[in-house]
Amino acid sequence: MSETTDQLPTDIEALQALVAAACAERDAAIAKCDAAIAKCDAAIAKCDAAIAERDQALSQMDRLQHLLRQLQRAQFGRRSEKLDPEQLQLAIEDIEQAIASDEAAQDRKDTAGARQRAERRRASRGALPAHLPHIDVTIAPEVTCCPCCRAPLHVIGEETSRRLDVVPAQFRVIVTHRPKYACRACTDGVVQAPAPERLIKGGLPTEAMVAHVLVAKYAWHLPLYRQAQMLLAQGIDIKRSVLAFWVGYAAAELRPLWLRLRETILTARNIAVDETTAPVLDPGRGRTKKGFFWAIARDDRPWGGADPPAVAYTYAPGRGAVHALKLLDGYRGIVQCDGYTVYKTIANTAPDAAITLAFCWAHLRRRFFDVVQDGPAPIASEALERIAALYAVEKTIRGRSADERRAVRQERSKPQVAALKAWFEQQLTRVSGKATIAEHIRYALNHWGGLTRFLDDGRIELDTNIVERSIRPLVLNRKNALFAGHDEGAENWACIASLIETCKLCGVEPQAYLTDVLTRLVNLWPASRLDELMPWAWSAEQANSLTA
């Protein structure tokens, strides 16, 4: 201690300089320490942000995994566990809403991030349709004088944004005046314009109103009692029974057009056929009976054909061969279908082998899906992989001509199909004849001729998805309406649904179509010109009138 003290300078100025240097060194050390602490705090904040982001990502991942499990159950689950496609859409909506809610919370906390997300939305939201009415709203500053010199400001530019708005459905009353004109010189010169024809004479609705009810019921699946409640909410008291009366009148007017649509589809070289149950009230027994909707559809788009897509439904009180024979009476061509025995009966009894069956690979694939779901199933898994290879080829030729599709199938699909058949035969010798997998393999081999018919005809699809997709709206309507009131009601259902679903396939807005078509029909449209009222022809006429 004494040695250190002895080394200190004795001069006061030197001591002051030494103390100042020590203080500066101390202050530098403190500043360095503060900088290190600030850096640690920033790192901790960054770590906290990363942890929050990770937690959010984990939460979102949990939601997505839940959705994935629902998707897997929907596709591969047991029949009792499979989700309805509409229920699955509800699950997806819930998850999307939760993700949007999280993003909204982030926007409130992070304004810079909110601006970035807003820019991304603007870049990806797309353009609104040009035909919509545009309402211009100008928002100007309250004061348009210069804050410095108070001189008036002038416009040098503007920012413009577009948002989608809605005006609730507005019901109105059409008041028709038909003045009478008389001659002052005589008593016999009274002139008056004739009253326009109406769908329902003496009734309240215009054809547009009736079309609105039809589209709400058969396109958007709103039962009539719900529509009556929605009307009552706007002060319009129209009973469900009255709405049903309107629907019956419209169906009677549209019936010739529906029959012509079905005739038109049956002229196609290739159609797809399917059926679904249609519960119908049976008053005599106090319960419902099981009827069926039979659907026939054509879709030439996959091979570039000229005929527009269309679907027609027919109600029948049963599922037997007699109803299918009536449905396809006189048809000559290829029928794509599942392995239901009734279709085989039709093909076998058709004169001159007029009907050729092409079976659906999707139905075969579903059989192996069910097996895979029950546990490890190497044979079923490999069958699925081999079938998936055929669909991979189809994906590359969708939209090409029939000849091109056939050539590619002969080159790429035919060897795979031959190998699959040999593999099926080999596996059949290895498994128990009573096993489920053996049953599915035998199904494939027993239907092999129809399953492989697509190889020699580019117009044939691998499956019947076109008609299966067209069946889904009927199923959803059936869930909402529960059952048809009687056989004639089910037939009306088939009539109107045929026209609406064909409109959807052709990209035609059903409300505008039915309004115009009903108006033309009640004004005695010639039966010889019904083809001009088909959805695709009507759409072409509307397009031509706009360009004229």
| Residue 417, SS3 per DSSP | helix
Map residue 114 onto helix, strand or coil.
helix
Tens digit of pLDDT per residue, the chain (548 long)? Answer: 445 556 667 777 777 777 788 888 888 888 888 888 888 888 888 887 778 777 766 766 666 666 566 555 555 554 444 445 555 555 455 455 555 556 666 666 777 776 776 666 666 556 667 777 888 888 888 888 888 888 888 888 888 877 778 777 788 898 989 898 888 888 777 888 888 888 888 888 999 999 999 999 888 888 888 899 999 988 889 888 888 888 888 988 999 999 999 999 999 999 999 888 776 655 555 556 678 888 999 999 998 888 999 999 998 887 777 877 788 888 899 999 888 888 888 888 877 778 899 999 998 998 898 888 777 888 998 999 999 999 999 999 999 999 999 999 999 999 999 999 999 999 998 888 888 899 999 999 999 999 999 999 999 999 988 888 888 877 776 665 544 545 677 788 889 999 999 999 999 999 999 999 999 999 989 999 999 999 999 999 998 887 76
Beta bridge partners of residue 358, listed in sequence order: 336
pLDDT at 81: 42
Interatomic CA distance for residues 228 and 333, integer angstroms? 45
Place of tokens 């469900």: 240
What pLDDT score does 535 carry?
96
Report the predicted TM-score, pTM, of the whole model to 2 decimal places: 0.74
Q: Greatest CA separation found in the chain? A: 147
DSSP secondary structure letters along 263-285: HHHTTSSEEEEEEEEEEEEETTT
What is 110-158 written as a DSSP string?
A: -HHHHHHHHHHHHHHS-PPPTTS---------S--B-TTT-PBP-----
Alpha carbon distance 87, 76 (integer Å):
16
* Residue 335, strand partner residues: 271, 357
